[in-house]
Structure 1
Amino acid sequence: MTTLMPTVREATWNERASTLAMFLTLGLAVGTWAAALPGLKSELGLSDRDLSFALLALAIGSVGSTIATGIIAPRFGTGRSTGVSALAMVVAFALPAFASSYVLLLISALLMGITTGALDISVNGHASDVERRWTSPIMSSFHAAFSLGGLVGAAFGGFLAGAGWQVAGQIFGPLLLAALVAVAAMPWLGSGARHTDKPEITFAMPERSMLGLCAVVLFCFLIEGAMADWSAVYLATVTQSSPAIAATGYAAFSIAMATGRVVGDGIVTALGPKRVVLFGGLLAATGMGLAVAFPDPLVAAIGFALVGAGAANIVPVVFSAAGRYGSSPSAGVAMVATVGYAGFLGGPPIIGFVASVGGLRLALGLLVVAAVLVAVGGLGLDRGGKAASS
């Protein structure tokens, strides 16, 4: 199947820059959450199992929101949906600072999931439309902005933790920056991709031709989610690192991922999606194996960086393909992202349960298997990024 790319560039630099800013906002929030998790865990006296259920609440909210946004965004325009979702997400990510009990943390996590899922689908659908009208691959650059935001959010939060700030301050500082970025970008987003006729989109099983894309995203999301939710906890509990040092785990992952995505569009063009996913999955498996085999802060950070480098362009490749081959950009992204979020949904309780029985090292060791499965999934991608159909 051929893609319907315009022959003349229709997207503007303002649209591209504002979309980059929204990915940066999303990354800032995720990085802030990653850096704050060890402090929240300590303040509320949570076990690994308790934390896994908080992450499960976040994932449940994301899955439900993903389905709804895939239906709603094309009706109102992906640009409008992205702007509203970004502001709602910033507010939701501030809520854990006020969570004085485990129940309040669970409620906060659920709201965080709802707003994160809404922004994730809206901004990726919007980016797919901008890329289509840009007439050349630029999706990896958008995801590079997300990784850069994750780096800044985690580093900022870690700096504040090292300076003696309480968890609330560690959360509010980076989120204030996220809010400023989102507000500044909103006027330039435009309405985005929109379908004014009766919505065709309903929640359904993915088409057979897209099952390969869904499988790759499933395991890659599980790995990326684990990095956001467990890397700092791993360094704090297994390697006994300080809160400031613990934040470097996700920061290392984000640095490598951002770097890989900055040059990712060229890599995808040169190698093709098949090799990008295959080699990326193998590199991520190597890095995760290194981190769990040698529980030293420096070695673990290097391992997490290798995971970030390997995973850098896998999701952009798959989202770009899904946006092109779906009935609309938001619908295509929603189809694979909904399946992908099952990684967030099933991953946290599995990791928490295994950690409570055999330790967090063993639990994160399961991600080596997930990375290998991602690499195997790459064998089912053709040159254009679509799952090869039988």
Structure 2
Amino acid sequence: MDLATDRTTLRRARTATCLLFLLFGTALGAWTSRIPSVKSHLDLSDGLLSLALLAFALGAIAGMTALGRLADRYGSTRVMVPMALLEGLLLVPPAYVPDLAALILALFLFGLVHGTLNIAMNANALEVQRAWGRPIMSSFHAVYSIGGFLGSAAGGLFARQGLSAGTTFLSVGAAVILMAVWAAVWALPTTPGTVAPREDTPAESAGHGVIRSPELWFLGTLAMCALVGEGTAADWSAVYLHEDLGSSPAFAAAAFATFSITMTVGRLFGDRLTTRFGPVALVRACGVLAFHALRTTEIRTLTLTDLRDLDHSRLHLPNRTVLLADPVRIRLLDYLTHRTATWPRTATPHLFLTRRTAISTTPVSRPWLYRHYPSSSHLLRADRLVDEAQAAGDARMLCELFGLTFNAATRYTRPYQDTP
């Protein structure tokens, strides 16, 4: 059966993956909403509670780094389904533990399953997205945020009725297990090793090349910074509202629910923006503008012929030749690879193109550039000119770099020249 053409199978697979993300967020939202109740039940100080929360984080890290590799070996579906069932079961014990040590153990195990499920369901989401044929990853993460809202809202409703954390976790855990069973029935079949590294790259297969990748470290650091905020909101927002601001347990549960709503809004637009603009063109075009202050018209009308000397870091424009900064040259080379893979049969001579211009010979429109740039293009060009004039103070160099007349270049350099 060809999964790329079987739309029913794909729709069910996407629904199953959405259910996994939904139960993942629901379980976490229910837990965070009742943290004040667990803290009060065991009479924990903030410091002791932080130890228990740290155990959850350590368990999640262990699950993502160690057990997450099981998805490569056995396939994402075979890992995420049992982990989803355990997610519902292990949500319950933290409400019934007798002391701090038992809570630490319960949260470590809960975190271990939570982290493993995180890796497996994201690997499955990538497989579904690949079969679907267009970006849908952000929609899965939006469903996770919706789950966080639903779990927090459920916790708040149970707290408002005066019901215990145990009752909350039993009810939400049962719902999580039901969603896991439904997801197991409709999940996309996967084969072991579908996302394993290629055998022709032994260094990367061992993980060494990936570990040394600066791009991966940058993305990891960026994700860590984002998760610090999310983790703080999840672990401490309800405690802060209940104990420091004196709100009721039901109202305190609304903190993470509100946070989840705002995450959902942002994530619902992610796939649409990626599909409309593309993840690569924006970075490449802005890089050329920011480094070399090209005019909007020059960006729009750049052709592949203008890059004929790219290996020697030269960009040929009608009125000058620009010596490209190395980061721009590298990014343009990457973009050319992306362009060829995305539009292999296009006849347009222009460097930057969209789905509309790929079937014609016209350049991209000015509105396309304005949507892509974070600021007005003429202001970016002016800032770049001022920076270079201040750094070098050489009017002739400004003429060569930016295509200015000598009189125009001297207007930029004059304020930075020494006066007798």
* Same topology, TM > 0.5: yes
The 8 Å contact of residues 87 and 176 in structure 2, kept in 1 or not, is answered as no
Q: Deviations over 1:107-138 (max 9, x none)?
A: 11100110001100000111012112211110
Q: 1:240 aligns with which of 235, 241, 246?
A: 246
CA change 1:95–1:135 in 2 (3 A) is same
CA distance in structure 1 between the aligned counterparts of 2:265 and 2:171, rounded to whole angstroms: 24
The residue aligned with 2:162 is: 164
The residue aligned with 1:229 is: 235
CA distance in structure 2 between the aligned counterparts of 1:206 and 1:163, rounded to whole angstroms: 53
Compute the RMSD of aligned alpha carbons.
Answer: 2.7
Larger displacement relative to structure 2 (24-33 or 221-230): 221-230
CA distance in structure 2 between the aligned counterparts of 1:179 and 1:212, rounded to whole angstroms: 36
Q: 1:182 aligns with which of 180, 183, 191?
A: 180
The 8 Å contact of residues 77 and 187 in structure 2, kept in 1 or not, is answered as yes
The residue aligned with 1:27 is: 25
CA distance in structure 2 between the aligned counterparts of 1:276 and 1:182, rounded to whole angstroms: 39
Superposed structure 1 runs of 4+ greater than 6 Å apart:
6-11, 196-199, 274-277
Unaligned segments of structure 2, at least 5 residues: 200-204, 284-420
CA distance in structure 1 between the aligned counterparts of 2:262 and 2:233, rounded to whole angstroms: 13
The residue aligned with 1:317 is: none
**Deviation, structure 1 residue 45:** 0.9
Choose 1 or 2 for highest CA Rg. Answer: 2
CA distance in structure 1 between the aligned counterparts of 2:36 and 2:274, rounded to whole angstroms: 36
SS in 1 for 2:58: helix
The structure with more helix, counted as a fraction of residues: 1
The residue aligned with 1:68 is: 66
Residue type of the partner of 1:234?
Answer: Y
The residue aligned with 1:85 is: 83
CA change 1:205–1:193 in 2 (3 A) is same
TM-score computed with the length of structure 1 as normaliser:
0.65
**Deviation, structure 1 residue 76:** 0.7
SS in 2 for 1:43: helix
**Deviation, structure 1 residue 208:** 2.1
**Deviation, structure 1 residue 195:** 1.1
Q: Using CA pairs under 8 Å that are at least 6 residues apart, name the structure with larger relative contact order, 1 or 2.
A: 1
Unaligned segments of structure 1, at least 5 residues: 1-5, 278-390
CA distance in structure 1 between the aligned counterparts of 2:88 and 2:282, rounded to whole angstroms: 32
CA distance in structure 2 between the aligned counterparts of 1:35 and 1:23, rounded to whole angstroms: 18
CA change 1:8–1:186 in 2 (3 A) is closer
The residue aligned with 1:118 is: 116
The residue aligned with 1:216 is: 222
| Paired residues, number | 272
Task: State the identity as a percent.
Answer: 36
Q: Deviations over 1:27-73 (max 9, x none)?
A: 11100111110101111111111111111111111111111233211
Larger displacement relative to structure 2 (38-47 or 65-74): 65-74
The 8 Å contact of residues 30 and 150 in structure 1, kept in 2 or not, is answered as yes
SS in 1 for 2:91: helix
TM-score computed with the length of structure 2 as normaliser:
0.60
The 8 Å contact of residues 9 and 134 in structure 1, kept in 2 or not, is answered as no
CA change 1:134–1:100 in 2 (3 A) is same
